[in-house]
A = this chain, B = another copy of it.
Amino acid sequence: MSSTDPDDRPTQDLLGRTDSEQIIQALDSGKNKRARKLLRRMHPAKIAAMLEMLEAEQRLALWQQIDAAQEERILPHLNRRLSGQLLGDSADAQPARPETEQEEEKSELNHLEAIRQALSLKKLKRVGKILHRMHPAKVAGLLEALPPEERLSVWSMVETERAGKVLTYLHDEIRIALALELDLEELIASAEHLELDDRVDLIQTLPAALGAKLLYASSAGQRAQLESMLSYPEDSAGGLMNADAIQVRADVRVSTVLRYLRLLEKLPPQTDMLMVVDRKGHYQGALHLSALVTADLGRAVAELMDRNIVGIAASASDSEVDRLFKELDLLSAPVVDEHNRVIGRITLDDVADLMREDTERTLMQMAGLDDEADIFAPVMVSSRRRAVWLGINLITAFSAAWVIGLFQATLEQLVALAVLMPIVASMGGIAGSQTLTLVIRGLALGQVQKGNLRILLNRELGVSILNGVLWALVIALLAVAWFDHWGLGAVLGSAILINLLCAALAGWGIPLLLERMGIDPALAGSVILTTVTDIVGFFAFLGLASILLL
């Protein structure tokens, strides 16, 4: 109990405010973490006095921030009516029904709903209890699923020791927002519980000034490691690595290695291999722990080490790292500097996360969305972002309208053209986006390369001819049946065929062109494609109609 003993000396902050004033201010501004910290330093009797003096609403808010352990010591200082009332409130913190933990764990739905209910009743203690039982990754998921205001309330109830870990699981936008919500002191305290690679991640996403403060708050030894890790781009091997690789010399025996490891007492998490180096620290090979534990004690490390595992250059790109992990079925791998000296290691979980984010980004970008954005961002913020995308699309839409505008005279004479023209554009768009998606993914997976571009184009043109002929016939016949006009059917069918051919060509060429220009094909590809298929579609249909039908 000594650790929670109150520190009796009253503290003052820089502004000379008393503890009570600071606590009330922290509560008013939603800084619950700060309030809890201040409360833990106060004498129970003093807290009791505060509780008595506050208005009912503020009193409840204060009570919600008091630890269960502290509650017991405060209650004797309160009159019976008040203590009964507050205790009644605490009792409620335990759910009425005796739910088993497992039952609650079953679905996240329950967590989200339970927390939102507790929030609406201002039962922050209950929120804290639910959070305490959840894994940081789940807390992160929950925070992302909450609208911003409720998110801040819940965030303020996350324990400081776990806050850092929660931050690492969040998408960038929310991560920054919640990190900025913490006092610098809290942020530093929460980062202390993180592994170095997670801390690097955090520093990299924070605004530069804040990141620097976090960096300088680290111990001198850690700071050097962090600085070396920060010197590499986020998506390089150096940026992915953790500077905690254990190194052993190639010329020692198994028994010596085992003795050394026992001295260390604990290896970094996710260690499945040691890095073997020569006298000068140059990387030689990897010693799998599974080889170490099965080898005779007298054998030398050099005989046991796996030379197939090459050191990854710190400057290697994330996709190279991914390829190496995939090809060698690695769980972790050494990272070396330009002199082939071991400077860290990469574990598969970080690579897997990164590559998953890549595919996710493609998916979101194809709809003009930012994959790191908060889906509950303020309406104004989201609107501004999406307005850009709609504005770009408007150019496409007006180009199409302009093409139609060229044929107003034609449309006036044969209004059926107006009825049927969206079909041409739509079929072209769909067919084109199939080719486009195929090529974008093929480029990402390496299935599409310089050596087979021509073949792919021929195939796509072949497919579009077959499908063009098929659907041109079907659509033409439907149009003839509808408008009883053979010429119209013929024009419609021809336009469909032309547009499907152009769609294949565009779906194939646009991503290649964009990639050569250094633009991500997933981002701009579909807008450009639609522009092409709309313009070609309307032009072919209305143009042919003007020539042949009037």
Nearest B-chain residue to A418, judged by Cβ: B418
* A457-473 interface (Cβ within 8 A of B): 459, 462-463, 466-467, 470-471
CB-CB under 8 A from A290, the residues of chain B are 266-268, 271-272, 289
**Which residue of the partner chain, among B112, B135, B265, B538, contacts A327 with CB atoms under 8 Å?**
B135
Contacts of A325 in B (CB 8 A): 349
The answer, yes or no, to whether A67 is at the interface (CB within 8 Å) is: no
Instruction: Name the B residues within 8 Å of A418 (CB-CB).
Output: 404, 408, 411, 415, 417-418, 421
A141 and B442 alpha carbons, distance in the complex (Å) = 10
**Would A430 and B390 count as touching, CB distance under 8 A?**
yes
Q: Report the separation of the CA atoms of residues A419 and B405 in the bound assembly, to the nearest whole angstrom.
A: 5
| B331-A433 in contact (CB<8A) | no
| A151 CB, min distance to chain B CBs, angstroms | 11
A415 touches B416 (CB 8 A): no
Q: Which of B386, B422, B425, B451 is within 8 Å of A109, CB to CB?
A: B451
Q: How many residues of A contact B (CB 8 A)?
A: 128
Residue of B nearest to A359 (CB): B359
Contact of A397 with B423 at beta-carbon distance under 8 Å, contacts A292-B293, A382-B459, A448-B145 already known: yes
| Chain B residue nearest in CB terms to A542 | B418
A438 within 8 A of B: yes
Task: Give complex CA distance A548, B191 in Å.
Answer: 63
Q: What DSSP secondary structure best describes chain A's contact surface?
A: helix
Kindly supply a per-residue 1/0 record for chain A positions 399-433, scoring 1 wherever the CB is within 8 Å of any chain B CB and 0 otherwise.
01100110010011001111111110111001101
B408 & A419 in contact (Cβ 8 Å cutoff): yes
* Contact residue among B145, B348, B383 (Cβ-Cβ distance under 8 Å from A446): B145
On whether the beta carbons of B445 and A141 are closer than 8 Å, the reply is yes
Does A264 make an interface contact (CB < 8 A)? yes
Given contacts A261-B294, A359-B363, A416-B408, contact A426 B400 (CB under 8 A): yes
A475 to B448, CA, bound (A): 40
A519 at the interface (CB under 8 A from B): no
Closest to A391 in B: B471
A415 and B379 alpha carbons, distance in the complex (Å):
37
Given A145-B446, A267-B290, A270-B331, the answer on whether A426 and B451 have CB atoms closer than 8 Å is: no
Does the CB pair A393–B459 fall under 8 Å? no
Q: Which B residues touch A367, using CB under 8 A? A: 433-434, 436-438
Contacts of A371 in B (CB 8 A): 441
Residue A368 interfacial (CB < 8 Å): yes
Question: Are B422 and A404 closer than 8 Å at their CB atoms?
Answer: yes
A184 CB–B CB distance under 8 Å: no
Given contacts A270-B331, A445-B141, contact A427 B369 (CB under 8 A): no
> Which residues of B are found within 8 Å of A462, using beta-carbon distances?
379, 383
Q: Does A307 contact B (CB under 8 A)?
A: no
B359 touches A478 (CB 8 A): no
A362 beta carbon closer than 8 Å to chain B: yes
Known: A261-B294, A442-B375. A272 touches B272 (CB 8 A): yes
| 11 A-B pairs whose Cβ atoms sit less than 8 Å apart in the complex | A135-B328, A268-B290, A292-B293, A293-B293, A359-B363, A367-B434, A382-B463, A400-B422, A401-B419, A405-B419, A415-B418
> Which 7 A-B pairs have CB atoms at the shortest separation, nearest pair first?
A352-B352, A418-B418, A112-B451, A267-B290, A379-B462, A367-B437, A289-B289
